[in-house]
Amino acid sequence: MKKNLSYMDSVHRDGRIWNIGVMILLLLFPVAVALAFGVLPDWNALVIGLLATAPMYWAVGAIETVTFVPMLGAGGSYLSFVTGNISNLKLPCALNALEQNQVSANSEEGEVISTIAIATSSIVTTLIIILGVILIVPLTPILSAPVLQPAFEQILPALFGGLGVAFVSKNWKIAVAPICLMLILFVFVPALDASTVGIMVPVSALFTIAVARILYKRGVL
């Protein structure tokens, strides 16, 4: 008799299938291009390039798994890692949905709400991209107008600023440490810019966890 899977078991089963499937599809694209054009990559250059870049992505991937999964839940994490753009889009959507419903990501309700929020975000993003592709030519003069550039530059700061206020107000004692760390790093380390956000978010999360643990042990929290 076939055993009925629980919700979480089915989430992990389907999540593994889709993540492995997407990984295979991504790897098949360069193979298909090589077969279609009858060319092969320069293996020496490929290995040298991987040795220079792959360890960084492995480290970031491992850190993001540890930091994002507790905030997104299992279903939301599988879906986010398939669709991408986690820190800029999927994470804020999931956190806002959890906040509005006053549930945590590791609860059954939180699992469902986080997954629905991320799925909705992915669908909306896809629709917007389709509209953008269709309307890019007629809208280019408007979108490239200098008067609109300051507004576009403030979209992400406004998004994360609103979320930041909500979460900082919950427990400002925990929030002080990562805010100070990021301010010091970005002010005194010129090499850090917008392109390093993907790396600095996990670093800040791990630093915050460590500080929160110390404060808890000392009875501050």
Hey, where are the domains in the chain?
7-170
- The residue assigned the tokens 């990562």 is 178
Confidence of residue 1 (pLDDT cuts 50, 70, 90): very low
Nearest alpha-carbon partner for 22 in 81, 76, 63, 72: 81
Cβ neighbours for 131, distance < 8 A, ≥ 6 positions apart: none
Rounded distance between C-alpha atoms, residue 178 and residue 27, angstroms: 37
Residue type, 212: A
Nearest alpha-carbon partner for 125 in 88, 154, 96: 88
Residue 217 has pLDDT above 90, yes or no: no
User: What pLDDT score does 3 carry?
Assistant: 62
Residue 24 has pLDDT above 90, yes or no: yes
